[in-house]
Amino acid sequence: MNRATKFPRMVLCDVYGTLLELQPPPADAASRWQAMVMRRALPELAARTESEQADFIYAHMQLCHRVSLKPGVISVLEACRQRGARLALVSNAQAYTLRELDVALSGSGLSLEDFDSDLN
């Protein structure tokens, strides 16, 4: 058996702690959250479109924590892809998780489309 046949055919990736590294929230998170709530009273949130609600939740979570791609993750994923491995996400993701990953991947040469949605 040659080395190429020993490479995995599929790579399952957890998001938080594997692809994304959690970091502490921004220093001004509490004041920014208060300003957001004051601008958009919470009872009105239910009346907003699904997209507006998702934007609000995403903005809130960016005040609670920040994320960045873990060092070396892009080179590992690229190597897997180049060897023909299928990439899939496995996570107890929150409503904003895929958006966080998508933003983190932007400019890296990879995107959410590189993860096989049939396996997710």
Instruction: Give the per-residue pLDDT at 30.
Output: 75
Q: Given pLDDT bands bounded at 50, 70 and 90, which one contains residue 92?
A: confident
Percent of the chain with pLDDT over 70: 86
Provide the pairing of β-strand 10-13 with 20-23: unpaired
Higher per-residue pLDDT: 108 or 117: 108
Strand partners, 87: 11, 115
**Average pLDDT for residues 38-57, to the nearest whole number?**
74
Burial class (CB in 10 A: 0-12, 13-18, 19+), 100: buried
Instruction: Give the per-residue pLDDT at 1.
Output: 46
The answer to whether residue 45 scores a pLDDT higher than 80 is no
Q: What is the mean pLDDT of the chain?
A: 84
> Could you give phi then psi for residue 105, rounded to 5 degrees?
-75, -20
